[in-house]
């Protein structure tokens, strides 16, 4: 998925792509200008992949909402985040019909529209961008062999260490005198 490493940074406008991690921060790239900068660990970063929107039933991942918006607008730009509150609520109702009207605020809807349009402008909103990568599949014959190997690994008992008897010094020398020192005197 193209959208997995997109982040929002508190206090910075726009969206960024996580390029790499440094010892004391991250290298990020603005999704629209492609300008790379570094930020420190103290920055409040939110991975869009971890954000969800409330419905009355559950929390819906943000990218599913983006996908709904994209399908509703034929993968084109949507309304402006500066639209009227009633237009934004209509937009939200079409994008996520069962959204929780008490927990999803107008500011959340504005941010949703703004982020969607930023991602669209940067070329991230395409039918392919919402396809999740499939795990690699093997030949059925190879898959069975690997499963059998795993099964034998799990079934085989662990080799136990040989037990060495601990011998107490007193039991080995029961018949011997306790001390070899003689009293002088």
CB contact at 8 A, 69 and 117: no
Residue 29 to residues 9, 15, 40, 77, 91, Cα–Cα distance (Å): 12, 9, 14, 22, 29
101-114 average pLDDT score: 95
- The pLDDT of residue 134 is 56
Residue 118 to residues 66, 84, 149, Cα–Cα distance (Å): 12, 19, 48
Output 69 or 184, whichever has higher pLDDT: 69
Chain center to CA of 92: 25
Domain ranges of the chain: 6-130
Residue 136 has pLDDT above 60, yes or no: no
Quick: pLDDT tens for 141-162.
444 443 444 444 444 444 444 4
- The pLDDT of residue 126 is 85
Residue 163 has pLDDT above 80, yes or no: no
Of the CATH numbers 1.10.10.1650, 1.10.10.10, 1.10.1060.10, 1.10.3720.10, which one belongs to the domain with range 6-130? Answer: 1.10.10.1650
119-140 average pLDDT score: 71
Residue 170 has pLDDT above 50, yes or no: no
């Amino acid at each position: 998925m193209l959208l997995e490493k997109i982040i929002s940074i508190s206090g910075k406008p726009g969206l960024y792509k996580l390029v790499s991690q440094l010892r004391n921060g991250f290298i990020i790239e603005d999704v629209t200008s492609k300008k790379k900068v570094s930020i420190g660990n103290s920055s409040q970063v939110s991975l869009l992949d971890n954000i969800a929107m409330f419905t009355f039933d559950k929390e819906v991942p943000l990218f599913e909402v983006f996908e709904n918006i994209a399908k509703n607008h034929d993968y084109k730009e949507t309304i402006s985040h500066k639209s009227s509150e009633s237009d934004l609520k209509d937009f939200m109702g079409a994008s996520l019909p069962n959204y929780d009207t008490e927990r999803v605020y107008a500011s959340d809807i504005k941010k949703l529209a703004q982020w969607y349009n930023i991602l669209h402008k940067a070329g991230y909103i395409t039918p392919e961008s919402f396809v999740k990568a499939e795990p690699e599949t093997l030949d059925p014959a190879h898959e069975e062999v690997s499963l059998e190997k795993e099964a034998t690994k799990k079934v085989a008992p662990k080799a136990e260490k040989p037990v060495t008897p601990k011998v107490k010094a007193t039991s080995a020398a029961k018949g011997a005198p306790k001390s070899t020192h003689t009293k002088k005197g």
